[in-house]
Amino acid sequence: MKYFLLTLIFLLPFQAVANDTCSYTYTVWNTAQKRTVMKQKITKLRSELTEAEKGPFNCTICKEDQEIVTLDNDASMKLCRHVAEKIKGALNQVLKEGYDIQSLVGYRPSKSRGPVDAKGNRTQFSQHAFGVAVDVNQEFNGLYTNCQEWGPTCKLIKGGTYDPKKPLAITAKSPIIPAMEKAGLKWGGFRKDSLKDFMHFSPDGQ
């Protein structure tokens, strides 16, 4: 008993430190060069997190808040622990309905949205950075600019060529959309600005 108490006293401070630590590595997207231009590793106390490092659903950018999600077909990704089960359930339901999921991207810390600074760098974290966004079958559902409405003017900037007639393409009638909406995520194909992100699901669709 004495040995157990001594061990517990010894371990508790380390457990407290582990729970209070936030660490992540993020990249920055440069719009002029159209590529990632830097990578930075961050370690800090949770009490030091800024509002920019906190996302929806009580999720943060900390890798300690993420967990691996594996679907029934063994496709996997990392998601925020507060939304992981809901999203997993939605995607497994879609699989049962016959929609094929070949690839997934979840947690991925990057500054790839928001205003651009003087060097052309994006200045805000994407929803992926908090583990609350999912890209599905990106090889068949690209991100397009100059795309107020889907058509010949749309320009592919990321992912694979989008063809709504292909089986793995996500369209407005795909069962994955209502399933993900129940989990709190909107489809990037419904965006009203000049972008269409056919692979993407997030709290605001962006």
**pLDDT tens digit sequence for 158-167:** 999 999 999 9
DSSP 128-170: GGGT--EEESTTTS-EEES-SSSSTT-EEEESSPP-TTSTT--
pTM strictly above 0.75: yes
Question: Does residue 48 carry a pLDDT above 60?
Answer: yes
Higher pLDDT, 35 or 140: 140
As a whole number, the mean pLDDT across the chain is 91
pLDDT tens for 74-99 read: 999 999 999 999 999 999 999 999 99
- 3-state SS, residue 60: strand
pLDDT of the residue at 1: 52
Q: Is the pLDDT of residue 105 over 60?
A: yes
Asked if the model's pLDDT at residue 2 lies above 90, the reply is: no
The beta strand positions in 34-130, using DSSP E, are 35-45, 66-70, 76-80, 104-105, 110-116, 122-125
Distance CA 22, CA 19 (A): 8
How far is the C-alpha of 57 from the C-alpha of 60, rounded, in Å? 9
Report d(CA 199, CA 8) in Å as an integer.
47
Residue 30 reports pLDDT greater than 80: yes
Residue 68's domain comprises 2-202
Contact present, 117 and 123 (Cβ < 8 Å):
yes
Mean pLDDT of 125-144: 97
Number of domains in the chain: 1
